[in-house]
Chain A
Amino acid sequence: MTDSKYFTTTKKGEIFELKAELNSDKKEKKKEAVKKVIASMTVGKDVSALFPDVVNCMQTDNLELKKLVYLYLMNYAKSQPDMAIMAVNTFVKDCEDPNPLIRALAVRTMGCIRVDKITEYLCEPLRKCLKDEDPYVRKTAAVCVAKLHDINAQLVEDQGFLDTLKDLISDSNPMVVANAVAALSEIAESHPSSNLLDLNPQSINKLLTALNECTEWGQIFILDCLANYMPKDDREAQSICERVTPRLSHANSAVVLSAVKVLMKFMEMLSKDLDYYGTLLKKLAPPLVTLLSAEPELQYVALRNINLIVQKRPEILKHEMKVFFVKYNDPIYVKLEKLDIMIRLASQANIAQVLAELKEYATEVDVDFVRKAVRAIGRCAIKVEQSAERCVSTLLDLIQTKVNYVVQEAIVVIKDIFRKYPNKYESVIATLCENLDSLDEPEARAAMIWIVGEYAERIDNADELLESFLEGFHDESTQVQLQLLTAIVKLFLKKPTETQELVQQVLSLATQDSDNPDLRDRGYIYWRLLSTDPVAAKEVVLAEKPLISEETDLIEPTLLDELICYIGTLASVYHKPPSAFVEGSRGVVHKSLPPRTGSSESAESPDAAPSAGQAAEQPAVIPAQGDLLGDLLNLDLGPPVSGPPLAASSVQMGAVDLLGGGLDSLLRSDVGGSPAMGGSGFTAPGPAAPAAMGAPLGSGLGDLFDLTGGVGTLSGSYVAPKTVWLPAMKAKGLEISGTFSRQVGSICMDLVLTNKALQVMSDFAIQFNRNSFGLAPAAPLQVHAPLAPNQSVEISLPLNTVGSVMKMDPLNNLQVAVKNNIDVFYFSTLYPLHILFVEDGKMERQMFLATWKDIPNENEAQFQIKDCSLNADAVSSKLQGSNIFTIAKRNVEGQDMLYQSLKLTNGIWVLAELCIQPSNPSFTLSLKCRAPEVSQYVYQAYDAILKN
C-alpha cells in the first residue's frame, strides 16, 4: 500500500468526504484523512476549507498525527488567522511537554505561523525554550527568534530576545552556537546599522571553536559571519586563516566556497612577502578545482566565482588551465563559463594548448558556444602578443570553412586585432573582403565596413565595396549606418578625387534623409569639418587611434573587490553587488576588502584606501568590443551637442562649398606635402588629450573650431579677484590690492596701486622676503609715471621661483616690502598654490600608478569640497586650465573618479583622486604627496578653482 491511494477521489465532493473522515471517532481514520489532506496540499490543491476540522485533530498523543496537523497549520494559518487562534492553547501546552522533541516542534511550528495574534502568545514559551535544558530545544528556539523578528521586529527587541540570542553565542553546544549565529546574521541583515553581531577577538574565538564541531550547514553560517569581521592586524588575520583552511577539505561545496571567501578576504591583509601568504595561495587551488568535478549546477556556481577569483588573484589557478577544458557533454552554461576562464588564464606559457582547444571548440555543434570560441581566439590574440600571428591564421582557417556565423564572429574579432596591432596583419584583408556578401549581422557588417574605411588606401575597390553597402543604407541598423558614414569620409580623405560623389551621397543620406539624431549630428560634423577645413578634418578623422586594452570585459576593480566579499552568494553569480538586484534588501551595506596592514591610519578609512590603490592598477580601460565606432569624434563628444547646430544656410552651402575651397586645400596640402594648415591655425586634438575637448562643447557645433583651438593650457589658470593687501591707512595713503595669476608658464603678481594721499607718489620698488617656494620678482616694479593723488595704476609684476627659500607658516605666506618716495611698507599675503602648478604636470599612467603605490598611506590626506555642482567633465577641464591634469576617469557605480596629477615649480608631484557623485554636491578629494604638508594648500587651490 502506498501513499498514492491518498490521491484517489470519489465522485462525491472530495472536501465533503474528508470533512466527515476528519471528524471520525476512529483515530486511525482521522490520521488517514489528515494524510489525504496533506497529499492534496502537496500538489497545490486548496484545502484551506478544512481548517477547523484539521485543527480539531491537533490534541493528540500520536506524534505523527500532530506533526501532520502542524504541517497543515503552517501552510494555511495565514489565510485563516481567526481559526489559527484555536491552535494557540495546544501550542502553549506542547511547549511544556516533557518530551524535548515535542517542545521543540511546538515552538518551531508556532514561529512559522505568520499571524500577529499568535506571536503575542509565542513570547512566553519562546523565552522558556531559549533557556531550555535541552540543547535541541535551544537551537530550535534560536531560529524561532529570527522568525519572530521577521514578523514583528519591535516585539523581539522589546522582549529582549536579541540579548538572549547573543548570549547563546557562548552556548556550550556548537549547534546552538551555529544556529544563534545564523539567526543573528539574518536579523542583522535587515538591520544593517544595529551592531548585533558585535564581533571581537573573543567572540571570533568562540565562533572558530564552534566551527570545528557543528554541522556542515552551521559551518556555512559561521564562515559567512566570520567573513564580515575585520581583523585588527595581519597577525590576527593569519591566525583566523589558519583555523579556517581545514574547511577547504570539506565534502560540502558550500562550506568550501564560504571558506574560500574568508581566506580571499583576509589574505588582503597579509603581506605578500610572508611565507604563509604563499602557502595559502597554494592551498586555495585544489579545492577550487575539486568543485569542478561536482554536479553541473555546482560547477556553474563555482565557475562564476572562480571567474572573480582569477581576476583578483590570477596566480592561484595559473597552472590549472586544463581543468577548464570543455567536455562535449558539459551543459552549455558550464561550457561558456569555462571558456571565459580559459581566456583569463591564457598566457604565453599555455597559449598553444589554449589555441588548440579553442580551434576544436569552433567546430562544435552549439552555435552560441562556437561563436564564443571564435571570439575567444581573437581575445587571445589581443592578450598574448606572441600568439597573435597564430590566432590570426587560425581565424583565417575558420573563415575558410564558410560557416556563416563563424565567419561573422571572426571578422568582428579581426577588427579588434587590427586595432591592437596596427599595420601588421592587413594582408588578410583580401580574404575578409571575399566574405562581404555573407555578412548579415550588424556587428559583423559594421566591423567589415570599419576595416574597409580604415584601410581604404590598400583596397583597390574600397569605393565599390562601400558603395554596395550604401544602396540599402536606410535598412541598415544605426551601428552600420554610423560606421558607413565614417568609413566613406575616411575613404574620401584618402582618395579625394574618385569619391566625391560617394561622400556627398552618404552625407545627404545621413543628414537629410535620416531621422536618427546621432547619425544626423555626425553627418553635420563631418560636413562642416570637410567644408571648413579639410586638412583639419583629415587630422580629426584619420587621427591615430588609441590602442585597445589587453584584457576585455574585466570587472571594474572596486566592484571586483566588493564581489570578492560576496563570494558564494547570488551576487557572485550575477557579478553585480547585491544592492543592484536583490529585492527588498534594506540598506545593504557595501562591503569592502580590508586594507593591507602596516599603517594604523589606513585601517580607519578602509573604504578609501584600498579602492584607490586598486583603481590605479587598471587605468582607464578602453573596451575593445562595442567601440566599433572607435574614431575620435565618437569617443570624445562627451556632453550632448544641443539643438540642431547649423543654420539653414550652412546646410545649403554644404554641397557646393565642400568641393570648392575644401578640396583644393586638401589636394594642395597633399601635393605640397607641407604641413601648412588651412589658415585657421586649427590643430586637431590628438588622442592623447581627449579630455580637453570634452567640456566646452555645450554651446553647439558652430563653436567647435574656435573652442577646440583655445582649449588647453593656453587659457591660463584661475585668477582670484583682487583683494586689498595693504590698506591706505597703514601705508600713509598708499593702497595696494592685488592677486596672483599664472599664464603660459609665467607667474604674475597683478597689482593695483592707488594713491589716496594728497601728495604725488613715485620711486616705487618691491622686494619679497624669503619664502617657501622661492618666489621673487623677475623684474623691477615699473611705475612709469609718478602717481597723482586719487589715481590708480595697474601693474603686472612677473615673478619667478628662483629666489631664496625658507619654509613659511602658513606655507604659502609671502612677505612683501614696497617702497616709495614716502616710506617703506610691509605687508604679507597668501598666494594660491595653483600659481605654482606647472604646465608639464601630467604624469604618465604607469608612473602615476607606481607613484601612488609608492607613496606611503600616511601621506594621504582627504578633503571635502562642498557645494560644487559641476559634472566630472566640467571639473576636469576647469582644473586642467590651472594645470591639474586628469590622467584617467572611471565611473564606479554612478560616481565618477578622476585621477589627477600636478607638479609644483619646485618639482614636487601631487597625486589626486577626486570622487564625484552626481547627486551629491560634496566632492571627496584624496591627495597623495611625498611632501604631505602641501596637501592642504593644494586642496585650497582645488576649492578655489572649482568654485569660480
Chain B
Amino acid sequence: MCFQQKMIHSLFLINCSGDIFLEKHWKSVVSQSVCDYFFEAQEKAIDVENVPPVISTPHHYLISIYRDKIFFVSVIQTEVPPLFVIEFLHRVADTFQDYFGECSETAIKDNVVIVYELLEEMLDNGFPLATESNILKELIKPPTILRSVVNSITGSSNVGDTLPTGQLSNIPWRRAGVKYTNNEAYFDVIEEIDAIIDKSGSTVFAEIQGVIDSCIKLSGMPDLSLSFMNPRLLDDVSFHPCIRFKRWESERVLSFIPPDGNFRLISYRVSSQNLVAIPVYVKHLISFKENSSSGRFDVTIGPKQNMGKTVEGVVMTVHMPKAVLNMNLTATQGSYTFDPVTKVLAWDVGKITPQKLPNLKGIVNLQSGAPKPEENPSLNIQFKIQQLAISGLKVNRLDMYGEKYKPFKGVKYITKAGKFQVRT
C-alpha cells in the first residue's frame, strides 16, 4: 500500500512565541515535531516576516503564510502547486476574519469547534470543497452572541442541515432566496500608491494598486452592470469569478450577478508612470557626523498634485540605524515616538495644511564610539485622500436587470499610500 496525499496533509497554527495552538489533519496524524523544521527556519530568519514560505524537510514540505501574527503552516507530502496552498491558507484566514470579526489566536481558540468544522468543510482529501463565504455560512452559521444564547436554550445547532443552494449552481457565489427590505449596492474604489522616491525627490518607481470592494444587499437574483467613464485605464485587471469576461472584453462593462454581502469585485493595476500622480513630497536632511556620536534630523512633508483634496491621516515611520540611541525632536504638528529597542521612529502628522507644512526636526544621539552608520534610513509614508481616485478612474453608471425594485446605489473613492517609500 502506498501513501500519497495530493494536497494539504495537515495544518498547524502557531503564534509568535512558537506555541502550536491548533492542529488539523486531513488524513493521518502528523506529529507536531515536523514543526521543528519551521522553528529552525524561524530562528534563522530572526524577523518573523523573513521566514521563507516554502521549507523542505526530509519527508515533508512546509508551506506557510504569516497573517495577523499567526503562522499558518501546512504540511505537504508531494508535488503540489505552492500558490494553490498559499491561496487556500489565505482563504482560511479570510474565513476566520469573516466569521469571528478578527483572525486572532483568541478568536480561534474561543471558536475552536467552529474552526474545526470550517476546516473540514473547506478541504476534502486535499481538494478545496467550499471556500465561498456564502456557502460556508449556510453550512456553518457564524457565532453571534444572540445565537449562542438561543442555541443553548433551544438546543438547536449552528450547523445547517440542508445543502447550500449556491454550491452547485453556475453561480456558486450567491445563495437563492436573498431578501432585504432596503436594497442597497455600494462600491468603494480604493487606490493605493506604491512608490519609491529617491534622495533627490524624483520617482524611481510608482504604480497604483486599485480595488473595487463592494457591499451588495439586493434581494433576489439581480444582474448588475457597472460602467466607467474611462475604462481604458483598466488594462491589467483581476476579476471576481462572477464577472462575465466576454462582456468586459467586448464592451468594457462589468456585468455580473453579485455575491451577497461584502466582496472584492475587481483589482487592477495602473503602472503607466504619467498616470501615477504623487500627492506628497518630502524634504529631508538626515546626517550623521563622523566621530561625534550625534546627527541631525530634519523632515518636512508637503502636498503636491492632490487635485484640491486634503491629504490626511499622514504617518511617517522610519527604521533608524542600529547605532541610534535616542532622538530629541520637535514636531510642529502631530506627535512622534521613538522606540529605542526596535529603533522605529513614528510620526503621526494628521492632516497637511498647505499654509503651514508639518516639520519634524532635532538631534539624533548615537552610541558613543560606534562607527557612523553606513545606511540611510528609508522613510515610510502613509496618507489618505478622500473622494479621489488618483488614477482618475470614475464610475459612470450602475444598471440593474432581473429585478423590479429600485436599489439605492453609492460609490465612494479613496486614495491611500501603499508601500510608499522615500529614500534618503
* A712 interface contact, C-beta 8 A: no
Chain A, range 29-86, C-beta contacts under 8 Å to B: 31, 35, 38-39, 41-44, 62-65, 67-68, 71, 74-75, 78
Q: How far is the CA of A221 from the CA of B115 in the complex (A)?
A: 26
Q: How far is the CA of A65 from the CA of B161 in the complex (A)?
A: 11
* A6 interface contact, C-beta 8 A: yes
Chain B, range 235-252, C-beta contacts under 8 Å to A: 235-241, 245-246, 249
Q: A99-B162, A136-B167, A328-B378 given as contacts; is B80 within 8 A of A570 (CB)?
A: yes
Q: Does B52 lie within 8 Å of A327, measured CB to CB?
A: no
Q: Does B49 lie within 8 Å of A585, measured CB to CB?
A: no
Q: How far is the CA of A71 from the CA of B113 in the complex (A)?
A: 10
A residues in contact with B267, CB < 8 Å: 251, 290
Q: A4-B110, A42-B112, A327-B421 given as contacts; is B50 within 8 A of A333 (CB)?
A: yes
* B184 interface contact, C-beta 8 A: no
A838 smallest CB distance to B (angstroms): 50
Q: How far is the CA of A151 from the CA of B27 in the complex (A)?
A: 11
* B333 interface contact, C-beta 8 A: no
B residues in contact with A246, CB < 8 Å: 245-246, 249
Q: Does A190 lie within 8 Å of B238, measured CB to CB?
A: no
Give the secondary structure class of B's interface.
Answer: mixed
Q: Does B81 lie within 8 Å of A257, measured CB to CB?
A: yes
Partner of A249, one of B45, B245, B376, B419: B245
A residues in contact with B88, CB < 8 Å: 217
Q: How far is the CA of A42 from the CA of B22 in the complex (A)?
A: 5
Q: Does B23 lie within 8 Å of A43, measured CB to CB?
A: yes
* A204 interface contact, C-beta 8 A: no
Give the secondary structure class of A's interface.
Answer: helix
B204 smallest CB distance to A (angstroms): 6
Q: A152-B1, A323-B271, A584-B4 given as contacts; is B168 within 8 A of A173 (CB)?
A: yes
Q: Does A6 lie within 8 Å of B205, measured CB to CB?
A: no
* A360 interface contact, C-beta 8 A: yes
What sequence of 0s and 1s flags, for each residue 131-163 of chain B, a beta carbon within 8 Å of any chain A beta carbon? Answer: 110000000000000001000100101111111
B residues in contact with A327, CB < 8 Å: 194, 196, 419, 421
Q: Does A112 lie within 8 Å of B26, measured CB to CB?
A: yes
Q: A101-B162, A147-B125, A215-B241 given as contacts; is B114 within 8 A of A3 (CB)?
A: yes
Q: Does B269 lie within 8 Å of A293, measured CB to CB?
A: yes
Chain B, range 40-97, C-beta contacts under 8 Å to A: 45, 47, 49-50, 52-54, 56, 59, 61, 63-66, 76-84, 86-88, 90
Q: Does A323 lie within 8 Å of B235, measured CB to CB?
A: no
CB-CB nearest in chain A for B248: A249
Q: Does A570 lie within 8 Å of B269, measured CB to CB?
A: no
B119 smallest CB distance to A (angstroms): 9
CB-CB nearest in chain B for A144: B125
Partner of B125, one of A134, A136, A146, A403: A146
With an 8 Å Cβ cutoff, the count of chain A residues facing the other chain is 114
What sequence of 0s and 1s flags, for each residue 374-389 of chain B, a beta carbon within 8 Å of any chain A beta carbon? Answer: 1110101000000000
B354 smallest CB distance to A (angstroms): 28
Q: Does B83 lie within 8 Å of A6, measured CB to CB?
A: no
In this complex, the interface size class of chain B, counting residues with CB under 8 Å from chain A, is 35 or more
Partner of B113, one of A38, A251, A356: A38
Q: A143-B124, A286-B235, A363-B374 given as contacts; is B161 within 8 A of A99 (CB)?
A: yes
What sequence of 0s and 1s flags, for each residue 115-159 of chain A, a beta carbon within 8 Å of any chain B beta carbon? Answer: 000000000000000000011100110011011001111000000
Chain B, range 97-117, C-beta contacts under 8 Å to A: 109-117
Q: Does A297 lie within 8 Å of B157, measured CB to CB?
A: no
Chain A, range 310-353, C-beta contacts under 8 Å to B: 322-323, 325, 327-329, 331-333, 353
* B334 interface contact, C-beta 8 A: no
CB-CB nearest in chain B for A213: B170
What sequence of 0s and 1s flags, for each residue 348-385 of chain A, a beta carbon within 8 Å of any chain B beta carbon? Answer: 00000100110010011100000000000000000000
A residues in contact with B160, CB < 8 Å: 63
What sequence of 0s and 1s flags, for each residue 580-622 of chain A, a beta carbon within 8 Å of any chain B beta carbon? Answer: 0111111000000000000000000000000000000000000
Q: Report A's interface with B, CB cutoff 8 A.
A: 1-4, 6-7, 27-28, 31, 35, 38-39, 41-44, 62-65, 67-68, 71, 74-75, 78, 99-101, 108, 111-112, 114, 134-136, 139-140, 143-144, 146-147, 150-153, 173-175, 179, 182, 186, 189-190, 213, 215-217, 220-221, 224, 246, 249-254, 256-258, 286-287, 289-290, 293, 295-298, 300-302, 322-323, 325, 327-329, 331-333, 353, 356-357, 360, 363-365, 401, 403, 568-571, 573-574, 578, 581-586
